[in-house]
């Protein structure tokens, strides 16, 4: 009997310890972790430099309230804004809260309420996050949603150009739809969105919650496309496992988030911001990101080589170290078999296996994971 609401379909593994790309189960079994806590532990489990930063902060203070200036927040905000080529940061505790802040800011700054987002997107579980999300199953049973969200087909330029106009407050988009099945945005589509936003006085909000903090080989995934958003939202990988989210915006938005306009008791908590600062210190370096890119290339090459010919595999897609393997069948039984074989991976929708290994995963770990996937998927290929 559990006292927890059964909101999660739990796996059969209870972790005892975790380090790097490995989770050690209480049953004594070792698992290669290609989930990174759903794109959170981008430096693997318990990276030493982050652990040290957290311990140091724990020894100075844990929480004082946002009424005090805190240089650790300033330090983390500077790293985040500089890496995104943006100017102002609001710290929250999660991805949904970061999106909530971005939506509030966009509505206030434009004086408009209509927001365009996309089918199959995922933007979080708060009411604004659910309203932005383009998946009906997320909203079922919760009654009326926040108004004036319009969901358009992803990568459909004609539908977009038909919808955007002088009433649009913002366009909210993921560069790679993570929960929705690892669908990468089309470059032309994204550039046209940027252009149309400028022409119509609408803000471009990029949800980098899953794609940010080095996941795709750049600090943020939008940087592959030569565009400049007005706001980005980040969370997940930012704190290496400590809860933190952020909305990062252009300087001209500063006046709309003045004192009393928005806030959060725990947002920018010093222990979490210390973890974020130490995480960014490692990830936001060309050398580190080039290595992550090389590992991503190796992962995709290996997946194509070992799985590309199997009937059960429909498509392999993604960017950097964010990979999706679309199958012709439901992936849940395959994911269960992968765990039995010592690899934890994620679904993205019903038919996609999602791989989010740590950015510092080793070549041997990639080889081991791909071998397990090949053997497991081949077995399902025969039985399918």
Ligand X SMILES: Cc1ncc(COP(=O)(O)O)c(C=O)c1O
Q: Which is nearer to ligand X, 53 or 182 (CB)?
A: 182
Burial of 146 (0-12, 13-18, 19+ CB in 10 A): middle
Q: Which is nearer to ligand X, 174 or 365 (CB)?
A: 174
Q: Which is nearer to ligand X, 132 or 307 (CB)?
A: 132
Cβ-proximal residues to 80 (8 Å cutoff; 6+ apart), any chain: 89, 234, 238, 246, 248, 276, 280
List of residues contacting ligand X (CB under 6 A): 94-96, 99, 122-124, 174, 178-179, 207, 209-210, 235
Q: Which is nearer to ligand X, 202 or 235 (CB)?
A: 235
CB of 215 closer than 8 Å to CB of 237: yes
Q: Which is nearer to ligand X, 207 or 365 (CB)?
A: 207
What 3 state SS string does 187-208 have? HHHHHHHHHHHHHHCCEEEEEC
Inter-helix orientation angle 71-84/270-283, to 10°: 40
Place of tokens 């993604």: 318
Q: Closest approach of Cβ 228 to ligand X, in Å?
A: 20
Place of tokens 């765990």: 339
Q: Which is nearer to ligand X, 125 or 368 (CB)?
A: 125
Q: Which is nearer to ligand X, 20 or 178 (CB)?
A: 178
Cβ-proximal residues to 105 (8 Å cutoff; 6+ apart), any chain: 90, 231, 247, 249, 253, 256, 257, 262
Interatomic CA distance for residues 73 and 75, integer angstroms: 5
- Residue at shortest CB range from ligand X: 95
If one counts every other C-beta atom within 10 angstroms of the C-beta of residue 139, the result is 15
Q: Closest approach of Cβ 177 to ligand X, in Å?
A: 8
Interatomic CA distance for residues 341 and 344, integer angstroms: 9
Interatomic CA distance for residues 127 and 197, integer angstroms: 24
Q: Closest approach of Cβ 202 to ligand X, in Å?
A: 20
Q: Closest approach of Cβ 1 to ligand X, in Å?
A: 27
Q: Which is nearer to ligand X, 120 or 376 (CB)?
A: 120
b/e per residue, 52-71, with b = 16+ CB within 10 A?
Answer: ebbeebeeeeeeeebeeebe
Q: Closest approach of Cβ 232 to ligand X, in Å?
A: 11
Q: Closest approach of Cβ 362 to ligand X, in Å?
A: 26
Q: Closest approach of Cβ 192 to ligand X, in Å?
A: 21
Q: Closest approach of Cβ 142 to ligand X, in Å?
A: 16
Phi, psi of 154 (to 5 degrees): -65, 135
């Amino acid at each position: 009997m559990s006292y927890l609401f059964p909101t999660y379909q739990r796996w059969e593994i209870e972790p005892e310890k975790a380090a790097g790309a490995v989770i050690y189960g209480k049953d004594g079994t070792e698992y290669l972790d290609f989930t990174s806590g759903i794109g959170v532990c981008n430096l693997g489990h318990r990276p030493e430099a982050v652990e040290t930063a957290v311990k140091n902060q724990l020894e100075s203070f844990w929480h004082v309230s946002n009424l005090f200036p805190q240089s650790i927040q300033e330090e983390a905000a500077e790293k985040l804004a500089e890496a995104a080529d943006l100017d102002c940061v609001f710290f929250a505790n999660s991805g949904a809260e970061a999106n909530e802040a971005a939506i509030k800011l966009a509505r206030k700054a434009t004086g408009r309420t209509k927001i365009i987002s996309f089918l199959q997107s995922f933007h979080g579980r708060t009411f604004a996050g659910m309203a932005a999300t383009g998946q009906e199953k997320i909203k079922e049973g919760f009654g009326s949603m926040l108004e004036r969200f319009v969901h358009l087909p992803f990568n459909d330029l004609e539908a977009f150009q038909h919808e955007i106009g002088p009433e649009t407050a913002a366009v909210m988009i993921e560069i790679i739809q993570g929960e929705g099945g690892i669908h990468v945005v089309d470059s032309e589509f994204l550039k046209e969105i940027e252009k149309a936003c400028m022409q119509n006085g609408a803000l471009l909000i990029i949800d980098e919650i899953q794609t940010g903090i080095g996941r795709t080989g750049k600090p943020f995934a939008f940087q592959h496309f030569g565009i400049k958003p007005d706001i980005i939202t980040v969370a997940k990988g930012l704190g290496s496992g400590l809860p933190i989210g952020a909305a990062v915006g252009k300087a001209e938005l500063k006046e709309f988030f003045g004192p009393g306009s928005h806030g959060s008791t725990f947002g920018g908590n010093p222990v979490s911001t210390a973890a974020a600062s130490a995480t960014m210190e490692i990830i936001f370096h060309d050398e580190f990101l080039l290595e992550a890119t090389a590992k991503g290339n190796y992962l995709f090459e290996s997946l194509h080589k070992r799985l590309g010919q199997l009937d059960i595999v429909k498509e392999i897609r993604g960017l950097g170290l964010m990979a999706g393997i679309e199958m012709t069948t439901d992936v849940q039984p395959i994911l269960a078999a992968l765990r039995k074989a010592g690899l934890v991976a994620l679904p993205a929708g019903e038919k996609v296996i999602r791989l989010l290994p740590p950015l510092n995963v080793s070549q041997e770990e990639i080889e081991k994971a791909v071998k397990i996937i090949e053997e497991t998927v081949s077995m399902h290929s025969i039985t399918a």
